[in-house]
Amino acid sequence: MPKPITNSKQNYLIKISGLVQGVGFRPFIYRLAEEFGLTGWVENRNDGVLIKVSSANSTISQFIESIKSQAPLASNIYSITVNKAETEEFKNFYIKKSTNVSNHVTEISPDIAVCDECLYDMKHQKHRIDYPFINCTNCGPRFTIIKSLPYDRQKTTMHEFNMCEICEAEYKTITNRRFHAQPVACNHCGPVYSFTNSTIKTSDLNLILEHLKEGIEKGKFFAIKGLGGFHLMCDALNNIAVSELRNLKKRDGKPFAVMFKNITELKKYAVINKVEEKLLNSWRRPIVLLQKKEYLAYEVCNGLTNIGAMLPYMPFHYLLFERLKTPAIVLTSGNFSDEPILISNNKALESFNNKVNGIITYNRKIFNRTDDSVTMVINNIPRILRRSRGYTPHPIRTNLNVESILAVGAELVNSFAIGKGNQAILSQYIGDLKNFETYEFYKETYHRFSKLFKFRPEIVACDLHPDYLSSQFAELLLIENKNLKIVKVQHHHAHIASVMLDNNLDEKIIGVSFDGIGLGTDNHIWGGEFLVTDLLDFERYSHFDYIPMPGGDKATKEPWRMAFSYLYSAFGDDVFNLPLPLFEKIKKKNITSIKKMIDNKINAPLTSSAGRLFDAITGILGINLFSSFHAEAPMRLESIIKNKINSYYDFEFVNETISFSETIRQIVIDVENRKSNSEIAAKFHNTINRVIITKVNEISKQTGIKKVVLSGGTFQNKYITSKIETALAKENLKVYVPHSIPVNDQGIAIGQLAIASKKKI
Ligand code: ZN
Ligand code: ZN
Ligand code: FE
């Protein structure tokens, strides 16, 4: 009888690329091979993982399927290739010592929230009872502690700690969950926390937790070192504590992020759906913006209806909640005004001393600073608003060749990006470069990325705006390196291109780019733009009508200025007779002074910005005459919408521009008729969506293009975005949504990268 084919053994080489190092991949392959009874080996390469197995034909496909379906949580397989290989006899399956094969860099894992198995171990492993730095190959710090590659303990900030015998044995045992877990440590050998205030200094964990519990219950607040930087912390249910914390932070009414003990507690305070729950529980543990219920301290959200919620992600968070009575603590970034989040113990002791009731640090250094990432779910799709911890430095794959391109980003919500082959690597969220310390952080991070990813730019892409510090940084690089080529990219083109890269779109599409501010090719300030664009070039098809922005940048902080500008343009000199809160609350002389600016065209640059139109409406309604943080006005306007209202205001298309004069007049009539602000806000939002749908349909009919991208800060507005995506889809248009990048200016660098990759040829 002939032997069945399935019994014949064959050798295979399996090459896996993607995020497969530092995430427990080799032990996983080892266990899987044992399970399947395969012999051979697995090896870490610079460009991924290589496996050689001797297997029956029928088994190999099942083996591959299991790799795909059971891969470690934080791993991310990009490709698997299987080839038949020379026959070789193996006695068993083993893990080979690593060899470097090329200059390719493998991916670096983002930081991973502590896993359930480690939480279990924290209560059962003798040497790790309550150990606040417990981790394994499936969890723990990664990007924040790594200095260079390959990922190895000596190249992380864990190099200062010598493993004890027990840890070392675990580290060396293939079947152990801590096999090659670089930050492995225990109560005998690892980092420790310490607590400092004017009277107490201790490294006793029990005492630290007791001090914290007592302090938080008494309404005190503390600075505490997190995974990527310091946080400021207090009871989220104690209004006095929260408002004192707000005073300490010196700025703004920006909402504070809140960490909840667990999902059950969180559900008492916020409305969540399944997608949001999954996102909250994911190993990335981002902040998720949720619709709040009523009970938290008012000062946490400061009148807004969203709450930025997250779940514990460090072992210490769990240990703390075990003791606390409160189910929710404010955990906001430890910095003052617009500075970057603090990471150094000394600086924290210096800055927070006498300002907080205690500083909790630990003696493992943070090398790469990361803020908590911020996300939101719209139409059941997770969107990233701030990309940092848990996401950085995970690359975005593209069909474009972005090799050796540096994109320096925008200015206000900055990140830069570097290109490695077909990978676009976005830096962590950096912040507002106009702040001195933030710009220092930017430069430092660029140098660290260059070293970490062995990156040297040949092309640098920057914004058209010559005053952006990022553009000036590009010019400096140009002076240092005469061979460097520079590509200048229009801001809104970059916004659209970023989402195109994220979706691997490389063709002519319709781009709707609405945001606060971006320099246009005509030297005016753009921000309400309809583009017909590909990655190489764009045509400005239509835009919001130009309106003076009296006082320039000042208008972005004082929405009453845009309110007046829009009103003046709609009503002329009759404006002063309008019964609006603006004219009661703002001094007459201030109003006449900006009227003069507009009349004389002095310090009143023209803008087509959507963000400024939202500002104007909040100013007209008297909701927000002054802003204390970026995008406050549109956030407040959106948050007052309550009822389902489908009506909208009129607007006009005049040549290639869109005029809102009629909208403004009708809003004033509604105010005069004592319609509620909530209703007016809803009608205004509907108007914006009506403009988009009408215009996009018109462009689609004229050009035959059916693909649409919406990008720019305005599309962080859930009301606008959820409705417009649905409405456009109903018109048989295909809307592309960003999955891995923010639609705000943090994503600009990715758009610049895409455009530069096209322009270089
Ligand atoms: Zn773990
Ligand atoms: Zn140990
Ligand atoms: Fe922008």
**Ligand nearest to the backbone CA of 313:** 1
Q: Is 285 a catalytic residue?
A: no
CA of 186 to the centre of ligand 2 (A): 4
Residue type, 360: I
What pLDDT does residue 505 have?
A: 98
Q: Would the pLDDT of 4 be above 70?
A: no
CA distance between the termini of the chain: 63
The answer on 287 and 151 residing in a single domain is no
Of 7, 11, 31, 44, which is the active-site residue?
44
Q: Is residue 734 within 8 Å of 707, Cβ to Cβ?
A: yes
> What is the average pLDDT value for the chain, to the nearest integer?
94
Burial of 703 (0-12, 13-18, 19+ CB in 10 A): middle
Amino acid letter, residue 716: Q
610 in the Ramachandran plot: left (φ > 0), alpha (ψ -120 to 50) or beta? alpha
Element (H, E) at 697: helix 677-703
Residues 81 and 36 in one domain: yes
pLDDT at residue 641, rounded to an integer: 96
CATH number of the structural domain spanning residue 66: 3.30.70.100
Instruction: Give the domain CATH number at 136.
Output: 3.90.870.30
pLDDT of residue 515: 97
**Pair (131, 145) in one structural domain:** yes
Domain region containing 529: 395-543+742-759
Q: Is residue 644 part of a domain?
A: yes
Is 189's pLDDT higher than 90? yes
630: domain CATH number is: 3.30.420.40
Residue 101 has pLDDT above 80, yes or no: no
pLDDT at residue 399 in the model: 96
Paired strand residues for 213: none
Please indicate whether residue 26 is annotated as part of the active site.
yes
Which tokens go with 577?
A: 């007779």
- 501 C-alpha to center of ligand 3: Å? 17
What are the angstrom distances between the C-alpha of 664 and each of 195, 389, 569, 700? 56, 42, 9, 28
pLDDT band at 58 (very low <50, low <70, confident <90, very high): confident
Whether 390 maps to a domain, the answer reads no
Which of 362, 381, 403 finishes a domain? 362
What pairing do the DSSP bridges indicate for beta strands 201-202 and 93-95? unpaired
* Residues 526, 407 share a domain: yes
Residue 131 shares a structural domain with residue 203: no
Q: Are 194 and 208 in contact (CB under 8 A)?
A: yes
Centre of ligand 2 to C-alpha 155, Å, is 19
Average pLDDT on 728-738 reads 97
Instruction: Reply yes or no on whether the pLDDT at 119 is more than 60.
Output: yes
Catalytic residue (one of 7, 11, 26, 435): 26
Region of 186 on the Ramachandran plot (φ > 0 left; ψ -120 to 50 alpha; else beta):
beta
Q: Are strands 257-260 and 306-310 parallel, antiparallel or unpaired?
A: parallel
Per residue in 263-307, pLDDT tens? Answer: 999 999 999 999 999 999 999 999 999 999 877 888 899 889 999
Q: Is residue 251 very low, low, confident or very high in pLDDT (cuts 50, 70, 90)?
A: low
CA of 355 from ligand 3 middle (Å) equals 36
Whether 83 and 121 map to the same domain: the answer is no
**Residue 100: pLDDT above 70?**
no
- DSSP letter at 422? T
Helices 315-323 & 205-217 angle (0-180, nearest 10): 60
What's the number of domains the chain is made of? 5
Do 259 and 343 lie in one domain? The reply is: yes
- Structure confidence by residue, pLDDT tens digits, 596-611: 999 999 999 999 999 9
Confirm whether 379 is domain-assigned: no
Domain boundary (65, 95, 125) is at 95
One domain, residues 201 and 185: no
Is 372's pLDDT higher than 90?
yes
pTM of the complete model: 0.95
Determine, yes or no, domain membership for 334. yes
| Adjacency order of strands within the sheet including 48-56 | 76-85, 9-19, 48-56, 39-45, 93-95
CA-to-CA dists, residue 330 to 132, 215, 300, 533, angstroms: 20, 14, 8, 43
Cα 16 to Cα 35: distance, rounded to the nearest angstrom: 19
Residue 245 sits in a domain of what CATH number? 3.90.870.40
Q: Are residues 207 and 288 in the same domain?
A: yes
- The C-alpha atoms of residue 358 and residue 233 are separated, in whole angstroms, by 10
Same domain, 549 and 660: yes
Angle 743-744-750 from CA coordinates, rounded to 5°: 70
Q: 437: domain CATH number?
A: 3.30.420.360
The residues, ordered by sequence, that sit 6+ positions from 67 with a Cβ below 8 Å of its Cβ are 14, 16, 29, 32, 77, 80
Helix or strand holding residue 486 (H, E): strand 485-489
The residues pairing with 539 across neighbouring beta strands, listed in sequence order, are: 532
**Same domain assignment for residues 156 and 65:** no
> Could you tell me the maximum CA-CA distance found in the chain, to the nearest angstrom?
104
Does residue 719 sit within a domain?
A: no
- Please check whether residue 590 lies inside any domain of the structure: yes
Least confident of 2-11, 143-152, 352-361, 461-470: 2-11
Query: Which of 156, 190, 224 delimits the end of a domain?
Result: 190
Q: Is the pLDDT of residue 2 over 70?
A: no
Structural domain contains residue 734 = no
Q: Residues 481-510: what's their mean pLDDT?
A: 97
Residue 204 maps to a domain = yes
Looking at the fold, whether 205 and 351 belong to one and the same domain comes out as: yes
